[in-house]
Structure 1
Amino acid sequence: MFSSFSYLTAVPYFLRCPRTLMANFKGHALPGSFFLIVGLWWSVKYPLIYFHQKGKSSQLTHYHQRLEIIEAAIRTLFSVIGILAEQFVPDGPYFHLYHENQWVKLMNWQHSTMYLFFAVSGIVDMLTYLVTHVPLGVDRLVMAMAVFTEGFLFYYHVHNRPPLDQHIHSLLLCALFGGTFSIFLEVILRDNIVLQLFRTTLVILQGTWFWQIGFVLFPPFGAPEWDQKDEANIMFITMCFCWHYMAALCIVAINYSLVYCHLTRLKRCGGEIIGIQKLKSDHTYQTALLTGSDEE
């Protein structure tokens, strides 16, 4: 579920970048863009499916199944691209984990491990809809494991760093472990619109927060650097995190409302067309009866 859609165009830049992908502004903006794109897509997809299936069978239509397979395939593809990008930057490990009695580029290996779990999640998602004997719920379980792995890796990713750096990454863990718990509940309560939208808000939060991390740790456009040890900055970032989540909630609520209004309008227009056709049909039938009566 969580490999960057933007990585396809980002790979050439990374191949020129002499550092690990995450150690610059673009390295945070690109995965942030991915999470944001996925979250925005889910904020439209899940309400569409919910209103379409409301009052009907909970089984996905063939069209929805194909959509899920395509989405999972895209996530898998760009997870692989993310792994290759991490491994083949100019000073990357090139799939060497241990060389000359020392570990090789463990930061890159951590990021690759994160992408690996998301690739497995995408593959399992595809198998769920392609193979009938795959137990329902395994896809959500593996997705929860992938998100948990991301949080687990990030938890041990920022040790011995300045206080603001540690704090801003620790806030990201709230979204990751919250998403893990939500997705795990979907193993039991599958296709629950509340859990799906909650997961969507957390994915959007991850996307915007990756951008925020980039702006704080690697200010672009010549902006002044943040004081990494200033407690006021830590307090502001904590408050800013709450604002980001409020923005995510508003985005999901607005898209949900727009989808509802759009489908309601289409249904009303469809009902009016059917009503007009019925009136025309009744009028034609009455005319035929009158014509037949006159002939007699």
Structure 2
Amino acid sequence: MGKFNGHFYPGLYLFSYGLYQTIVVSKAMIFNDSLLYPSHPPRSKGRWAMLWTISYGGLLKMVTGSILTAYVVICLDDGMVLMSKQVPPRFMYPKEWQHLTMFILLTLIGCVDVMSKNLLPQRCVVLEKSTMVLTFYVLLLLLVSHSQASVGVELQVHALLILVVFLLLLVLTTELWAPDTSYLWLIETFLFLMMGSWLMQAGFILYKPVTGYPWQDDDMSDIIFVTTFFCWHVMINASCQLGIYGLSSFWYHWFNPSLKLTGSKEAPYQTSHPGLLYKLLQEVEQSEKDDQALLLATSSL
């Protein structure tokens, strides 16, 4: 599993997830909508109405994590053996066991998402965010341990990946206190894009170099260019995120008039004129004073 497929396919999943989240966050920022409780257009209340409420993101995490977990086990001919039969016994396949732990955590995140959004009486956002934060704490520990036996180019590749995971962990931890902040979600999606694209790039660098020749650990220029490629990923992913936001804004404002009409209908209820309200209050107070004066005059008579 610690080969090309073990880096490329998880990276492809994370990159696809980052693209999807970028579209969701862009739409929420354009319409000033909530990210946790987005407003959806009215759906049919027929037989298939429940399908709109299913947590498809959680189901996708469960399915992807289960497939990758099964793939780790199938890749080994003699199965996931924990310890050898020799004396003294030694632990077997340490990196494969780390990969297995990562994918089991992904499956658990999906289970928590489905449970929170579809099984509990009320959605528990704190539970979802706490599970995500705890998972990335474990992932960071596994990656640090995973890179201890690495040297040269492989060490540099994993060190840059650890940097991305650490920054993502800080953002996710901050979201525990501000879960519906669009700017934090925007940074989070960018880091998911970085994590996914860099994992795919790591597969090519370590196991399938484009030139057909392996990278040299004793060549300093190779190690320097690993960091250069990482900086290119930063620029490309940032441009990709900006492009998605621009295309989403163009699409929703020019090719989706129904959403524009909905926003225009809701606008009068969301905005108020303080001067008009002040005049109405003054008129109400004046009418009350006139009524009181009339009552006093009547009582005196």
TM over 0.5: yes
Distance 1:141 1:243 in 2: 32
Amino acid of the structure 1 residue aligned with 2:38: L
1:193 to 182, 190, 205: 182
> Are positions 1:74 and 2:54 aligned together?
no
Q: Which of 74, 79, 97 is 2:82 aligned to? A: 97
1:210-221 to structure 2, matched below 5 A, reads 210-220=199-209
One-letter amino acid of the structure 2 residue matched with residue 60 of structure 1: P
Structure 1 residue 111 corresponds to structure 2 residue 99: yes
Between the aligned partners of 2:147 and 2:40, the Cα distance in structure 1 is: 45
Q: Which sections of structure 2, spanning at least 5 residues, go unmatched?
A: 44-50, 265-301
SS at match of 2:217: coil
Partner of 1:28: 7
**Superposition RMSD on alpha carbons, in Å?**
2.8
The DSSP-based 3-state class of the residue aligned with 1:226 is: coil
What is the CA–CA distance in structure 1 between the aligned matches of 2:257 and 2:115, rounded to whole Å? 38
> Could you tell me which residue of structure 2 aligns to residue 38 of structure 1?
17
**1:60 match:** 38
Counterparts of 1:144-163 in structure 2, within 5 Å, are: 144-163=133-152
Q: For residues 45 and 28 of structure 1, what CA distance do their matches in structure 2 show?
A: 26
Q: Which runs of no fewer than 5 residues in structure 1 stay unpaired? A: 1-20, 276-296
Sort the Cα spacing of 1:193 and 1:92 in 2 relative to 1 into closer, same or farther, 3 A. farther
**Highest RCO, 1 vs 2 (Cα 8 Å, sep ≥ 6):** 2
Q: Distance in 2 between matches of 1:145 and 1:40?
A: 23
Task: Name the residue aligned to 2:251.
Answer: 262
CA offset digits 1:88-119 (Å, max 9, x no partner): 2233533x423422323222111011111111
SS at 2:153's partner residue? helix
Checking the alignment, whether the CA contact within 8 Å between 2:65 and 2:103 is kept in structure 1 is: yes
Deviates more, 1:143-152 or 1:69-78: 143-152
Q: Is the 8 A contact 1:79 1:115 kept in 2?
A: yes
Alignment of 1:225-236 (within 5 A): 225-236=214-225
Q: What one-letter code is carried by the residue in structure 1 that aligns with 2:55?
A: I
Instruction: In structure 2, give the amino acid aligned to 1:254.
Output: G
Using the size of structure 1 for normalisation, the TM-score is: 0.75
Contact 1:92 1:108 in 2 (8 A): no
Query: Could you say which structure has the larger radius of gyration?
Result: 2
Q: CA deviation at 1:236?
A: 1.6
Which residue of 221, 230, 250 corresponds with 2:239?
A: 250
- How high is the TM-score relative to the length of structure 2? 0.74
Measured against aligned partners, the alpha-carbon deviations of 1:35-91 in whole angstroms (never above 9, x if no partner) come to 11111111112222343453x897334679947711111111110111111122233
Is this contact kept in 1: 2:129–2:175, CA < 8 A? yes
Residue of structure 2 in register with 1:208 after alignment: 197
Percent sequence identity over aligned pairs: 20
Distance 1:270 1:110 in 2: 46
Taking structure 1 as reference, are residues 165 and 68 closer, same or farther at Cα in structure 2, changes over 3 Å only? farther
How many residues are paired up? 251
